[in-house]
Structure 1
């Protein structure tokens, strides 16, 4: 999509981000998220930029097409920041039009300027997402994600 603009998301994007995140969880993992909890999480990130930031893909007319969130981790082993891609979503009607690639390439470009590494986690059965990430140069890095607590 040649008229796709990538910009930092703004608080006014909150309803769209909530809608996208709820849809993402349902589509990728079969999870039903509570929209109020998601909204509180999105608003908290906007109020505390140290938590991360959202990028929004928009059309030249301002239509919101997709999103991507970055959180950061410091690596003392590598003496660099690691950016984690999360909440990556393209509206169904815009899939296959380059929105996902535009979002990722924008963020990868910014990361390259700051010498960050970029990582992500992906649902292991989401073969479409895995193929898309591999096409952008991502590969398994030898770690498994583990979690404790609810």
Structure 2
């Protein structure tokens, strides 16, 4: 292994209750970075906890770098995450898996973290009966994200997303 944890190989695992604070912190950071929105930390933490407690709501995956430093000590460093939700399609009689809440820690960016997460969930989706594909939404002006998704074989589906948000 490497003496530099940021360059160590990635392992993808399902998130667990021990990840809740980090996942909430990353969700807050992602909303601020990508949409310039400051979310309520308590609401986000409750949302992350709800998803971890009930996989029918959502599933989180975490990319972890594990490195042996100086030949002795193993250091684990969470590098990034994504969340999966499902959408039933009557047109296809199956589920679309939606990739959401993507976040890669700044020190790990441009090192294949999202690609590893994507390939992991793509493999799971292909192996799961009834899953018809993967989808995600991306900010119109996030050209770097567009290029990343295209490099993984995703295409613009031609939809614009509208919403009617209700106060909580």
Per the normalisation by structure 2, the TM-score is 0.85
| Alignment root-mean-square deviation, CA | 1.2
SS in structure 2 at match of 1:24: helix
Partners of 1:103 and 1:50 lie apart in 2 by: 20
Match of 1:41 in 2: 47
Partners of 1:2 and 1:130 lie apart in 2 by: 26
Partners of 2:132 and 2:18 lie apart in 1 by: 28
Q: Which has the higher strand share?
A: 2
Q: What's the offset of the Cα at 1:36?
A: 1.0
Max radius of gyration: which structure?
2
Q: What's the offset of the Cα at 1:142?
A: 2.2
Per the normalisation by structure 1, the TM-score is 0.95
Match of 2:71 in 1: none
Match of 1:15 in 2: 21
Match of 1:4 in 2: 10
Q: What's the offset of the Cα at 1:149?
A: 2.5
Aligned residues: 150
Q: What's the offset of the Cα at 1:2?
A: 5.2
Preserved contact between residue 92 and residue 132 of structure 2 (Cα < 8 Å): no
Q: Residue 118 of structure 1: which of 101, 126, 134 is its match?
A: 134
Match of 1:90 in 2: 104
Q: What's the offset of the Cα at 1:96?
A: 1.1
Asked whether 1:80 is paired with 2:80, we answer no
